[in-house]
């Protein structure tokens, strides 16, 4: 089953999307579906997600950048 979604995309997002899709020989819609699939997979498979909100932190972007912070801690 498929569903249709109508989006109003600002020019500053659409132009690079269209350019990338053209480079890859794809339609912008196809590329957007790939991006959505990747984003959903990344959020579903995140083993740290269960800890989001469990600890107090001064980091305001921890939910978006926890992989960066964890990698930095491991490398130090």
pLDDT in tens, 37-75: 888 876 666 676 777 777 777 777 777 777 787 787 777
Give the pLDDT of residue 55.
75
DSSP 54: S
What SS3 state is found at 61? coil
Helix axes 28-44, 11-24, angle to 10 degrees: 100
**Cα gap 1→5, rounded to integer Å:** 13
Residue 1, token pair as written in the block: 């089953």
Q: Encode pLDDT of 13-23 as tens digits.
A: 999 999 999 99
């Amino acid at each position: 089953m498929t569903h249709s979604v109508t989006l109003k995309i600002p020019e500053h997002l659409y132009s690079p999307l269209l350019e990338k899709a053209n480079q890859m020989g794809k339609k912008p819609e196809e590329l957007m579906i790939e991006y959505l699939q990747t984003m959903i997979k990344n959020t579903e498979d995140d083993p740290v997600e269960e800890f989001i909100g469990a600890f107090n932190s001064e980091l305001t972007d921890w939910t978006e950048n926890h992989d960066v912070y964890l990698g930095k801690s491991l490398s130090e």
